[in-house]
C-alpha cells in the first residue's frame, strides 16, 4: 500500500464515512500527508504504532515552520483522529496517543490573529453535528471577520440579499445603512452553506437558519464559538464580536485610514463626533482588497 492509497482511504473515511466538511477533509488530509512523510509511515500498522513522542517531535517541527498555537491544536486533533482510525483498521486496542495541546497564558489578552480567525471558523465547522450546520456557522464567522459585521447584522441578512455580490448593503444600529465589500472567501463560504442547507430560503426569510428551520439565534453561534476556542486553546476573549474587532484592527494596522474604517464598521461617530464621512464605494472596495489580510492571502 502506498502513501497515496492511505490518503485516499483516509479521505473517503472523512468525506463519506464521517461526512465531514470539504474544509475539514482538506485540512485533515494535508496534516496526514505531512505526518506520513515526516515519519516515513507506509501502512496502517505503522501509523497505529506512532507514539506521543512521534507526535511531539512532528509538531515541534511544524512549530519551527511558524505554525501558531491554534493551528498546532487543529493539526494535533487531525493526527489523533488519523491514528485512532489506523488503530481501528488493524484491530489495535486503546486510544490514540494523548498529547496536551498548546495553551495560551491566562490573563494575557491578545487580538485574534488572521490564522486564529481562520482556525476558529474551521473548528466551529468541524465540531458541528451536521455538515450543513458546520458550513452555516463557518459562513457566519467569516462574515464577522471578513466583512466586519456585527453578529446581529449577519443574522439579519435575508434571502433578498442573495446572491451575494462584491458589496452588500447592511442595516446597522439605529437603522443606518452602509455598503460593505464582500471578499471571495466570504462569498464562497455563504455559497457552500446555501448548497447544503436543507431549508428553502425565500426572499423574506432570514438567510441563516437554525436546526429546525427557524432563524438562527446569536446564542447558538456564541456557544459553538466557545466550544471551538476551548479546543484550540484560545482565550475567552475570542468571541464572535472579537472577530469584528479584529477585522478593524488588522485593516487599521495595514494602513486603512480611520474614516474609511468608520464607514466600513458603521460607527455613528469618529471619536466624539457624529459626522459621517462619505467615502466612494469603489474606493472603499479597493482599500479593502489591498489591505485586508484574508484578501491578500
SS3 for 52? helix
Q: Which helix (H) or strand (E) holds 44?
A: helix 44-48
Q: Dihedral of CA 187/168/141/279: which sign?
A: positive
Is residue 47 within 8 Å of 83, Cβ to Cβ?
Answer: yes
Q: CA 6, CA 36: separation in Å to the nearest integer?
A: 9
Q: CA 160, CA 202: separation in Å to the nearest integer?
A: 8
Residues with catalytic function:
150, 173, 241, 244, 267, 276
Q: CA 97, CA 255: separation in Å to the nearest integer?
A: 45
Is residue 251 within 8 Å of 243, Cβ to Cβ?
Answer: no
Q: CA 43, CA 5: separation in Å to the nearest integer?
A: 9
Phi, psi dihedrals of residue 132, rounded to the nearest 5°: -70, -35
CA 60 from centroid of its chain's CA atoms: 24
Q: Is the peptide bond before 34 cis (omega within 30 degrees of 0)?
A: no
> In angstroms, what CA-CA distances link 292 with 107, 229, 243, 251, 289?
28, 23, 13, 6, 6
Ramachandran category for residue 266: left, alpha or beta (phi over 0 → left; psi -120 to 50 → alpha): left
Count Cβ neighbours within 10 Å for each residue of 70-92 and write b for 16 or more, e otherwise.
Answer: bbbbbbbbbbbbbbbbbbebeee
Amino acid at each position: 500500500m502506498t502513501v497515496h492509497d492511505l490518503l485516499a482511504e483516509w479521505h473517503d473515511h472523512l468525506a463519506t464515512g464521517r461526512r465531514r466538511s470539504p474544509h475539514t477533509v482538506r485540512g485533515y488530509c494535508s496534516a496526514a500527508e505531512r505526518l506520513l512523510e515526516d515519519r516515513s509511515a507506509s501502512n496502517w500498522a505503522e501509523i497505529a504504532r506512532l507514539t506521543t513522542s512521534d507526535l511531539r517531535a512532528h509538531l515541534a517541527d511544524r512549530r519551527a515552520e511558524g505554525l501558531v498555537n491554534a493551528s498546532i491544536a487543529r493539526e494535533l486533533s487531525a493526527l489523533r483522529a488519523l491514528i485512532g482510525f489506523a488503530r481501528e483498521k488493524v484491530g489495535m486496542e486503546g486510544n490514540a496517543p494523548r498529547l496536551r495541546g498548546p495553551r495560551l497564558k491566562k490573563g494575557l489578552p491578545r487580538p485574534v490573529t488572521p490564522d486564529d480567525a481562520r482556525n476558529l471558523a474551521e473548528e466551529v465547522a468541524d465540531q458541528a453535528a451536521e455538515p450543513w450546520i458546520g458550513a452555516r456557522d463557518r459562513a457566519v464567522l467569516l462574515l464577522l471577520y471578513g466583512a466586519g459585521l456585527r453578529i446581529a447584522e449577519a443574522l439579519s441578512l435575508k434571502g433578498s440579499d442573495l446572491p451575494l455580490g462584491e458589496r452588500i448593503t447592511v442595516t446597522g444600529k439605529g437603522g443606518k445603512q452602509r455598503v460593505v465589500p464582500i471578499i471571495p472567501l466570504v462569498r464562497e463560504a455563504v455559497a457552500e452553506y446555501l448548497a447544503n442547507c436543507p431549508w428553502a430560503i425565500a426572499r423574506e426569510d432570514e438567510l441563516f437558519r437554525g436546526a429546525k428551520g427557524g432563524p438562527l439565534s446569536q446564542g447558538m453561534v456564541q456557544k459553538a464559538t466557545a466550544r471551538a476556542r476551548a479546543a484550540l486553546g484560545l482565550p475567552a476573549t475570542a468571541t464572535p464580536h472579537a472577530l469584528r474587532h479584529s477585522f478593524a484592527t488588522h485593516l487599521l494596522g495595514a494602513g486603512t485610514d480611520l474614516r474609511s474604517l468608520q464607514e466600513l464598521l458603521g460607527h455613528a461617530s469618529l471619536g466624539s463626533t457624529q459626522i459621517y464621512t462619505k467615502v466612494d464605494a469603489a474606493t472603499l472596495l479597493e482599500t479593502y482588497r489591498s489591505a485586508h489580510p484574508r484578501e491578500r492571502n
